[in-house]
């Protein structure tokens, strides 16, 4: 079946009209996260329309990824959902209530580690709990529990300079989960890691999500990563970003890295890449002829 942009959808995938998507999981139930016709224009001497109207709904405990060409508005949309920037128009709702800025119902993990260098791993995680009504001892215990969840129980007293890139990102994930948000927002969290560490972090995130179920909205440039982690993958159009294709990832869980070698996985990857490539060729229409030369 062809999607709105002409790209085929994977077997078991659902191609939606650009800008609108409602998963089978939320039909007849209230979505955990709902994005309603969100648009964003950055004003200036030359205004830039980053998002041209995005609507989507995510169910409780669903893992959804956004992919697309550079500059298509993926990170802008994530920042709007996080409450870090305001949309020009449109609305974001969590459990049916419009958001108004950042909130503890949404945890955020960025590509950069955003750790305090003078604090230990335990103290960095506990810092996120400073607004909770609990003692310092209780905050430390919660921090230790979440460091153990991400496999860092032996590094609670280490400072960021003593940790590798992957370990720092584990601390950031533990911190984002420590106050028990219902939604986790992740913007290229493994983009700065080497290939091997990235694979390990993908496996870790899969295990953590499967045991600590919550709704995840994940931004990545890595199509294999998106297919491996997700229940659904959305392809965005070039700027102004809209939803172009929706692909349901009907692969069994729990997942392991070996899954990436199966024909089903490779077919899903191929079709998503074809959809993104189509957008790339819209930006540089002469590129295809050059590649064939």
Report all structural domains of the chain as residue ranges with CATH numbers, in order of start: 1-105+190-293 (3.40.50.300), 117-180 (no CATH)
For 8-22, what is the mean pLDDT? 42
Q: How many CB atoms lie within 10 A of CB 48?
A: 14
pLDDT at 76 over 50: yes
Distance between CA atoms of residues 92 and 95, nearest Å: 10
Percent of the chain with pLDDT over 70: 87
pLDDT at 253 over 50: yes
pLDDT at 283 over 70: no
Q: What pTM did the predictor assign?
A: 0.86
For 255-267, what is the mean pLDDT? 93
For 240-248, what is the mean pLDDT? 95
For 267-274, what is the mean pLDDT? 96
Q: How confident is the model at residue 114 (pLDDT cuts 50, 70, 90)?
A: confident
Q: Which residue has the higher pLDDT, 196 or 284?
A: 196
pLDDT for the residue 49: 94
The enclosing H or E element of 186 equals: strand 183-187
Beta bridge partners of 2: 8
CB 31 within 8 A of CB 196: no
Which of the residue ranges 39-53, 56-70, 279-293 would you say has the lowest mean pLDDT?
279-293
pLDDT at 195 over 60: yes
For 131-140, what is the mean pLDDT? 88
Q: What would you report as the CA-atom Rg of the chain, rounded to the nearest whole angstrom? A: 19
């Amino acid at each position: 079946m062809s999607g709105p942009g002409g790209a085929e959808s994977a077997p078991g995938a659902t191609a939606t009209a650009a800008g609108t998507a409602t998963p089978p999981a939320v039909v007849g139930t209230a979505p955990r996260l709902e994005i309603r016709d969100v648009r964003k224009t950055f004003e200036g001497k030359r205004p830039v329309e980053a998002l041209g109207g995005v609507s989507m709904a995510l169910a409780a405990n669903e893992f959804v990824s956004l992919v697309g060409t550079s500059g298509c508005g993926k990170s802008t949309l994530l920042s709007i959902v996080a409450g870090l920037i305001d949309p020009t128009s449109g609305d974001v709702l969590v459990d049916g209530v419009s958001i108004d800025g950042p909130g503890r119902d949404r945890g955020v993990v960025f590509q950069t580690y955003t750790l305090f260098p003078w604090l230990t791993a335990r103290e960095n995680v506990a810092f996120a709990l400073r607004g909770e009504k609990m003692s310092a001892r209780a905050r430390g215990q919660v921090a230790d529990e979440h460091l153990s969840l991400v496999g860092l129980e032996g590094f609670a007293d280490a400072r960021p300079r003593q940790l590798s890139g992957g370990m720092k990102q584990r601390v950031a994930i533990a911190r984002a989960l420590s106050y028990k948000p219902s939604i986790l927002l992740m913007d290229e969290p493994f983009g700065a890691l080497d290939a091997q560490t990235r694979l390990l972090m993908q496996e870790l995130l899969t295990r953590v999500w499967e045991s600590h179920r919550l709704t995840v909205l994940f931004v990545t440039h890595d199509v294999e990563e998106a297919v491996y982690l997700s229940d659904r993958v959305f392809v965005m159009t070039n700027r102004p970003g809209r939803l172009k294709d929706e692909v349901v990832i009907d692969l069994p869980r729990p997942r392991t890295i070996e899954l990436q070698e199966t024909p089903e996985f490779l077919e899903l990857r191929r079709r998503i890449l074809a959809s993104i490539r189509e957008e790339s060729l819209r930006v540089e229409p002469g590129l295809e002829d050059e590649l064939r030369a």
